[in-house]
Amino acid sequence: MTLNDRWREIADKERTPQENEAFWKDYFLKEKDNYAYILANNLKNIKGQLSEVAGSFNMDSVTFIGFLDGINTSLVEETDLDTLEETSIIDIEIDYEKLYFNMLDAKADWLYNLTEWDNILPEERRKEIAKEFRISRMAVSNKVGRNDPCPCGSGKKYKKCCGKE
């Protein structure tokens, strides 16, 4: 069983609602500490043997795979988590703008509101990324409205051109 399979088994384990809440609360505290450390030290690259890197983040290897699973889409190049073992050498590069965007997407306010972001991305850029995030979530209709310009290019309103009955 791979480390990733073991993480999935632990994460998906059936628990009482209280046990589940306690499990995720504990995990999210570790995750928050990891991100605060990464941002505070501007660790754009993380390299080393998986078990040693996990230890440096105060996590066991299986839990660290869970952390990597969460950050994977924010990396310059995603990592195949199913191939990782305790002795695997990892070499990851974090894209901070993707990371901030993905934290917004995950609604992880405890992460995207970390004060450590101040030294990584200027507030203006974080606001731009938040705006890009909101725009990316807007529904867009391809339907032409009656008062919109006609798509045929005539310059007339749709209702006076191709939309006439």
Closest by Cα among 151, 154, 152, 96 to 125: 96
pLDDT at res. 70: 95
Could you list the residue range(s) of the whole structural domain that residue 104 is in?
3-121
Q: 89: Cβ–Cβ under 8 A, 6 or more apart, which residues?
A: 47, 48, 49, 50
| Residue 163 is assigned to a structural domain of this protein | no
| Residue 155 is assigned to a structural domain of this protein | no
Secondary structure (H, E, C), 74-139: HECCCCCHHHCCCCCEEEEEECHHHHHHHHHHCCCHHHHCCHHHHHCCCHHHHHHHHHHHHHHCCC
Residue 143 binned pLDDT confidence (cut-offs 50, 70, 90):
confident
* Domains contained in the chain, number: 1
| Count of other CB atoms within 10 angstroms of residue 55 | 14
Give burial (CB, 10 Å; 0-12/13-18/19+) of 39.
Answer: buried
Closest by Cα among 109, 139, 143 to 28: 109
| Residue 85 is assigned to a structural domain of this protein | yes
Residue 165 has pLDDT above 80, yes or no: no
| Residue 160 is assigned to a structural domain of this protein | no
Residue 37 has pLDDT above 90, yes or no: yes
pTM for this model (two decimals): 0.81
| H or E element that contains 47 | strand 45-49
- b/e string for 144-158 if b means 16 or more Cβ within 10 A? eeeeeebeeeeeebb
| Residue 39 is assigned to a structural domain of this protein | yes
| Residue 15 is assigned to a structural domain of this protein | yes
| Residue 162 is assigned to a structural domain of this protein | no
| Residue 102 is assigned to a structural domain of this protein | yes
Q: What is the pLDDT of residues 109-135, one digit of tens each?
A: 999 999 999 999 999 999 999 999 999
